[in-house]
Amino acid sequence: MNITQLILTSQVFLPKYILFYFIKLTICPIFSIIKSYSNADIILYLNGGILIMSDNNSSSNNIHTKTVFIFDADDGMTLSKDVLNSDGSLIAASGTKLDMDMIAKISANHILEIEIIDKDYTEPVRPVENDNSTYYEKVRNSKEFKAFCKEYNEGISDALRFTISFLKSQLNDIVNRNADVDVDELLTYPLSLMNTYSNKLQMFDMLHSLRQFDDLTYAHSVNVALVASIIGEWLGYSEEDVHVLTLCGLLHDIGKVRIPRKILEKPGKLTPTEFEVMKAHVNESYDIIKDKDIDSRVKEACLLHHEKCDGTGYPFGLTSDKIPDFAKIIAIADIYDAMTSDRVYRSAVCPFTVIHLMEQECFSTLDPKFALPFFKNVASSYIHNNVKLSNGETGEVVLINDRSLSRPVIRCKDKFIDLSAAPDLTITAIL
């Protein structure tokens, strides 16, 4: 006797309410076990109604079904299973095309869920024999993934554009109207972005494609804020400290509003005189916010984020022990964003190249306490991404070398290339 027969037989001997609680207390907790060992239909009582559930794997006609809430049922849906009332009488047979009258009839019998034929089901992408494409390539090429990306990218693009526009308005008010810094308002949209999208580095990378030179300073500030917050989270900082770091990023270049645009947007190398004007933006930033009611670490970061641990930075030439931690973190975020973004005078640099260049600076100009965890996490975020190598080959990042973070192990078709042991090869692009 299978489970269905057992339950149906029980109806002869047990009142309905006793049977209901028998199923609720005895059958439901082991439902998954029953389903694993039986192809029988499982009958569940729901407010006096009956829901018949089957193992789809037992179907021989490859019809795919799904369960829908009765109040979500719609005209034209087709039942994949008989619907029975509490007495076991047939209400609607499998194959019935629903209309509003039938939906109302099922609902009147207190049946909460029904099974229908899933017309929107599409077969998942399956590996093809002799197909050398990676799993992730197959996923990316699927129409479902492309549809997801379109929706995701449009949503995040709108949110990022709005955030940049809002920041531009706020910073101009602070500079031109001497407005107070409303910390809560200023953080609203960046924090909303960070809380909404779990893959912050993907969001950060997307911002690069949204750049317009007219908004370069503001887009860069949003980016640095995002990266700084990521670093803070990776370092295990408190929520309050992460918020302060975010504010540091948003305000760190506010003084550039006072720098001539012809210098900010110059396509070539700055002259020594122009560079001195550019360097003044840190003093201008501090001057703008020094009297504002904000965390002192924000003011320090604005003034000192171009200081270097070896004392070769500006404006004071401070050494590592004199540079505040938050200024060091903003320096890392600032350099990384500047190098991985398009500029009027050059294209964006590949993140692995940037990591390589920054690794060389790690023990001199950058603080390794903050830089090394950042490099490792950034490099690890590209595992399973496809990359292009300097010899023209493409492959998938499969392993990060802890001792050489910019030179991971790449799988190219049927071979593995350890870039740490292949000094002539480099990653030129992330695909």
The string of pLDDT tens digits covering residues 412-431 is 988 999 999 998 999 988 87
User: Does some domain include residue 271?
Assistant: yes
Mean pLDDT on 335-343:
77
User: Does some domain include residue 337?
Assistant: yes
Report helix, strand or coil for 122: coil
Which of residues 333, 348, 363 is at a domain's end? 348
Look-up of token digits 């006096």: 48
Are 224 and 302 found together in one domain? yes
User: Does some domain include residue 85?
Assistant: yes
Q: How far is CA 228 from CA 106, 198, 371, in A?
A: 56, 15, 12
User: Does some domain include residue 209?
Assistant: yes
What mean pLDDT, rounded, does the chain reach?
76
More confident residue, 151 or 165: 165
First to last CA, the chain: 58
pLDDT at residue 250 in the model: 93
Mean pLDDT on 160-173:
80
In the chain, the percentage of residues whose pLDDT exceeds 90 is 29
Q: Is 60 exceeded by the pLDDT of residue 1? A: no
| Confidence grade of residue 121 (pLDDT, cut at 50, 70, 90) | low
- Of 175-184, 264-273, 333-342, the one with minimum mean pLDDT is 333-342
Are 182 and 302 found together in one domain? yes
| Confidence grade of residue 328 (pLDDT, cut at 50, 70, 90) | very high
Q: Which of 3, 16, 119 is closest to 68 using CA atoms? A: 119
Q: Which of 195, 154, 189 is closest to 168 using CA atoms? A: 189
Q: Is 60 exceeded by the pLDDT of residue 11? A: no
Mean pLDDT on 62-76:
78
| Confidence grade of residue 144 (pLDDT, cut at 50, 70, 90) | low
Are 162 and 113 found together in one domain? no
Are 98 and 160 found together in one domain? no
Between strands 415-418 and 404-412, the pairing is antiparallel
pLDDT at residue 205 in the model: 56
Are 225 and 323 found together in one domain? yes
Mean pLDDT on 344-367:
78
Task: Give backbone dihedrals phi and psi of 252, rounded to 5 degrees, phi first.
Answer: -60, -30
pLDDT at residue 112 in the model: 72
| Confidence grade of residue 192 (pLDDT, cut at 50, 70, 90) | confident
User: Does some domain include residue 254?
Assistant: yes
Mean pLDDT on 24-38:
38
Q: Is 60 exceeded by the pLDDT of residue 67? A: yes
pLDDT at residue 391 in the model: 92
Q: Which domain holds residue 330?
A: 154-348
Look-up of token digits 């709005």: 162
Are 69 and 158 found together in one domain? no
Mean pLDDT on 54-72:
61
| Confidence grade of residue 42 (pLDDT, cut at 50, 70, 90) | very low
- Of 129-143, 236-250, 290-304, 352-366, the one with minimum mean pLDDT is 129-143
Mean pLDDT on 198-223:
61
Q: Which CATH number goes with the domain that contains 113?
A: 3.90.105.10
Which of residues 117, 140, 174 is at a domain's end? 117
Instruction: Look at the chain and report how many structural domains it folds into.
Output: 2
Which of residues 117, 141, 176 is at a domain's end? 117
Q: Which of 220, 222, 214 is closest to 189 using CA atoms? A: 222
In the chain, the percentage of residues whose pLDDT exceeds 70 is 68
| Confidence grade of residue 155 (pLDDT, cut at 50, 70, 90) | low
pLDDT at residue 279 in the model: 95
pLDDT at residue 241 in the model: 96
pLDDT at residue 231 in the model: 92
More confident residue, 160 or 281: 281
DSSP state of 346: B
More confident residue, 288 or 72: 288
Are 33 and 163 found together in one domain? no
pLDDT at residue 402 in the model: 85
Q: How far is CA 175 from CA 150, 184, 407, in A?
A: 37, 18, 44
pLDDT at residue 147 in the model: 60
User: Does some domain include residue 234?
Assistant: yes
- Of 58-72, 81-95, 359-373, the one with minimum mean pLDDT is 58-72
Are 168 and 294 found together in one domain? yes
pLDDT at residue 365 in the model: 92
Tokens of 49: 């109604």
pLDDT at residue 394 in the model: 93
Are 95 and 240 found together in one domain? no
The CA distance from 382 to 350, in Å, is 12
DSSP state of 252: T
User: Does some domain include residue 368?
Assistant: no
Length of the chain, in residues: 431
Q: Is 70 exceeded by the pLDDT of residue 308? A: yes
Q: Which amino acid is at 181?
A: V
Q: Which CATH number goes with the domain that contains 202?
A: 1.10.3210.10
Residue 315: asked if its preceding bond is cis (omega within 30°), the reply is yes
User: Does some domain include residue 129?
Assistant: no
Are 230 and 84 found together in one domain? no
CA 89 to chain centre: 50
The CA distance from 231 to 337, in Å, is 13
Are 302 and 164 found together in one domain? yes
Are 167 and 300 found together in one domain? yes
- Of 23-32, 80-89, 116-125, the one with minimum mean pLDDT is 23-32
| Confidence grade of residue 275 (pLDDT, cut at 50, 70, 90) | very high
